[in-house]
Each structure stands twice: as C-alpha cells, then as structure tokens.
Amino acid sequence: MKKILLLVLSLCLVAALLIFCGAVERDKNIFGSTDEKENTIYIGVIEPLTGDDAPGAMREVLGFRYANAVCPTVDINGVTYNVKLLEADSMSSENGSENAAKSLIYSNVAAVLGAYDSENASYCLPLFEKEKIPVIGVSCSSPKIDADNFFRMCFTDSFQCGAAANLAYSMDCRKAAVLTQTADVYSKAAGKIFADEFSRLGGEVVNLSFQSGQENFKALAEEIKD
C-alpha cells in the first residue's frame, strides 16, 4: 500500500513540474481565461476505458484519481492552482486513441498521463508531440515508445524481461516456456525479449500462445508440465 501511495504522489509531483515547464513553452493559456477556469490546471488522462485493455487501464485511472484527491492543488511561484483531471477514452483502438488525443488537445490540457497500453500510446503520442504537450507514461513499457515530450515512470520491457531471464537462469533454470497472447503486439514483443536473452545465456525456450478471451488453460498447463 505504501508503494502505491508513493507512486501516485510522485506522479502528481512530476506532472506539476512538467506543467510548469509547459506553461513557459506553450503559446496557449493553460491556466484558462474565464472566471471558472481561473487558477486551474487541467491534466489529461488518456486510457482505454473500453475494449480489451479496459480492466487494467481502470486500475491505472483509479490511481490518478486517488493522487488528485490527495494532491488537488499545486503552488507555482507563490500562486496556488487547482489541479483537475480530464479523462478521455482511447477505446483500445487506433481511431479511438487519436480521437481521445484530439479531444484533450482541444480542451487545452497542460500535460497528459497514460496510456496503459504501449500500442495505444504510440497512436496518440505524435499528436501531443506536435502540440508540445508533455506526456507521462506510467505503465507503457515498450522501448519503441519514445519522443522528446515523452517521460516514462516505469522500466522498459528490455530491462524487465532481460532481468527476468537472468533471474531464471541464475536459479539454475535451463528450460523455459514463454506463453504469449496471439496477435497481441505487446505480449509478443515482451516474450521475444525474454526468449532471446534466456537463449543467449544458454537456456532453452518453448514458445506457446493463447487466444484473446481464452478461459480454459488446462491443455496449455499440461503442455508446459510435459
């Protein structure tokens, strides 16, 4: 619980710093021009709230909401600003990600948090980069996600999967089953990184896969056991 608390609090602090930097760089008035928006900073949240990635994404969104509840304001140069979250659903698709990004840009957000899935993040990142809006990736760990305006809070797949392969080999494991989801870009990429590193160390890899939505894994479990 303490680790979760530190994560979300750190997230708010990082976002606040980026917002201040963005305020200096951008021409748009991110603090608002009406009485309603006076002294308010808007942070966009872009997540696949519907579709295949929704369950995991919602856990991330709840973390953002909790962080905002704990730290609802930020002080910049002696002025206290309210911090408001604007959530946009990327719908676990390319079109949905682009539409969600455009809606946040139109809403004049100062920074963006997300997205849960690396593939969804890759669709919307160029739009935010064009507008010079900083994006903080919390769990999109693909090393292919990279841009001048992109900041990552998690380790990349290269590090995580490489560390897992080294740990397994150091525990005298010499044969590993790598189970990935068919047609899932992230799953396949992460599995390949582990398999390549484990093989390089001298281990043997058996590649297996499952379908999206599959619920019965008995046959796969038996195959792994054999």
Residues of the chain with pLDDT under 50: 1-3, 5, 9, 14, 18-36
Give backbone dihedrals phi and psi of 135, rounded to 5 degrees, phi first: -125, 130
The pLDDT value given to residue 5:
46
- 3-class DSSP state for residue 208? strand
What number of other Cβ atoms are within 10 A of residue 2's Cβ? 6
Q: Give this prediction's pTM.
A: 0.75
The pLDDT value given to residue 11:
56
The pLDDT value given to residue 8:
52
The pLDDT value given to residue 12:
53
